[in-house]
Amino acid sequence: MTTELNPNVNAPATPSNGKRNRALLILLAFLVLAALAWAAWYLLVARWHETTDDAYVQGNVVAITPQTTGTVIAIGADDGMKVIAGQTLVQLDPSDAQVAYEQATANLANTVRQVRGLYSAVDAGQADLAVRQVAVTKTRADVARRQGLVASGAVSAEELAHAREELAAAEAALSASRGQLSRNRALVDATTLQKQPQVQAAVAQLRQAYLNLQRAAIVAPVSGYVAKRNVQLGQRIQPGAALMTIIPLEQVWVEANFKETQLAHMRIGQPVEVHADLYGDDVAFDGKLVSLGLGTGSAFSLLPAQNASGNWIKIVQRVPVRIELDPAQLAKHPLRLGLSMHVDVGIRDQNGAVLASAPPAGPVLATKAYEKQLADADALIEDVIRRNLPGAKHG
């Protein structure tokens, strides 16, 4: 047996590296294209946007509190119910307020009649003063006539003395009449009956009593939805107690907390696209950046950071940014307070201001729910005064 290798047998061929090189070239080309695509996307799109998920729905939470003391006898709305401005939410027992109102009405009527008496006293005082002046003139003439007759003996000295005493009495009565007229005039001079101080004090008392009576019905200052009802029937409440809250959902906004490194190119008025976790990506809200926060969250916290203590670690701070939403979209897709939002701010247009440049033209929020109360009180006061003037007809 021989162990020599057959020289005619061919050696195995080495595997080809062509397919591997081709795959590597394809991968390299894909990576280069991906890098170019990412660079183009960043330069054309991404660098003009700032996004955050640290954003939440905020809104006005209007507290309903009583202005007078009373016992609850009716509750007009519960949690989740819609109410309109001016609607009665809680009714207090009006008995005490009704009694005070009737007393104030009677007091105003009595005061008007007393002040009418003051004006009449002035007229009577003027007439009395004229009578006293005539009497003084007459007695003074009698004294002068008797003085010329005493020397001839036609008039006795005693009669002259009596005449002088009458003159002194008439002059004293005239002086007293002048003083009384001055005192009466001081109460009514330079004023009308409606503007006389005593009438004004009674008017103020009646206005307060009427308002207290009206405030027994606690009304909604704004339209919205009731939340956190705490009041119960029969509860004795004091002014300022929290009874419930009203949330006007059409006035909500988004507060987005951006890192301080994201704020460099943000300006008021920039467009914002907002997505709510409640609706997902299917619903996009169009918004507008309306203000940049004036401090970080830690600066306004109850216990602000004390970085001078020595235990300092740099942490990127966040600043709240307020975003106003489209009211039409809010009406179609209502939001709730506290919902999580995703915010995307377009920063391409940087012509806007960083801070507001002018104060608001008018009130940011206002209510007219209480205007009618005061108007009704003034109409009532005019009616009470008119019914107690001379010649008024009483039904």
* pLDDT of residue 265 exceeding 60: yes
Whole-number pLDDT of residue 150: 65
Name which of 6-10, 75-79, 172-176 the model is least confident about: 6-10
**Which residues does 358 contact at the CB level (< 8 Å), separation at least 6?**
none
CA–CA distance, 141 with 138 (Å, rounded to integer): 5
CATH number at residue 323: 2.40.30.170
Same domain for 296 and 165: no
pTM score of the predicted model: 0.73
Whole-number pLDDT of residue 7: 55
Same domain for 224 and 154: no
Whole-number pLDDT of residue 208: 93
Same domain for 86 and 108: no
Whole-number pLDDT of residue 356: 87
Same domain for 232 and 87: yes
Tokens (6 digits) for 316: 């990127």
pLDDT in tens, 353-364: 999 888 888 898
Same domain for 189 and 130: yes
CA–CA distance, 250 with 335 (Å, rounded to integer): 9
Q: Are 321 and 289 in contact (CB under 8 A)?
A: yes
Same domain for 100 and 82: no
pLDDT in tens, 133-147: 887 788 877 777 767
Whole-number pLDDT of residue 4: 54
Closest CA to 319 of 252, 274, 256: 256
Asked whether residue 358 is assigned to any structural domain, the reply reads: no
- Band the pLDDT of 124: cuts 50, 70, 90: confident
Asked whether residue 54 is assigned to any structural domain, the reply reads: no
DSSP secondary structure of 38-67 = HHHHHHHTGGGEEEEEEEEEE---EEE--S
Asked whether residue 114 is assigned to any structural domain, the reply reads: yes
Whole-number pLDDT of residue 93: 96
The sign one gets for the Cα dihedral 197, 201, 202, 207 is positive
- Band the pLDDT of 189: cuts 50, 70, 90: confident
Asked whether residue 182 is assigned to any structural domain, the reply reads: yes
Of 130, 161, 195, the position where a domain reaches its end is 195
Same domain for 160 and 187: yes
Q: How far is CA 250 from CA 101, 291, 333, 366, in A?
A: 39, 19, 10, 15
pLDDT in tens, 283-342: 999 999 999 999 887 787 777 777 776 677 788 889 999 999 999 999 999 999 999 999
Same domain for 160 and 124: yes
Closest CA to 72 of 245, 240, 221, 237: 237
Asked whether residue 228 is assigned to any structural domain, the reply reads: yes
Q: How far is CA 326 from CA 59, 269, 329, 332, 344, in A?
A: 14, 13, 5, 10, 15
- Band the pLDDT of 5: cuts 50, 70, 90: low
Tokens (6 digits) for 251: 């006035």
Same domain for 328 and 185: no
Q: What is the 3-state secondary structure (H, E, C) of 228-258?
A: CCCCCCCCEECCCCCCEEEECHHHCEEEEEE
Q: Which domain holds residue 71?
A: 62-93+216-247
What count of Cα atoms within 13 Å lies in the side-chain half-sphere of residue 23? 4
Same domain for 272 and 237: no
Convert 71-88 to b/e letters by CB count within 10 Å (16 or more is b): ebeebbbeeeeebebbbe
Same domain for 241 and 259: no
Asked whether residue 330 is assigned to any structural domain, the reply reads: yes
Average pLDDT, the chain: 85
Asked whether residue 122 is assigned to any structural domain, the reply reads: yes
Report the residue count for the chain: 395
Same domain for 81 and 128: no
Asked whether residue 68 is assigned to any structural domain, the reply reads: yes
* Total of domains in the chain: 3
* pLDDT of residue 193 exceeding 70: yes
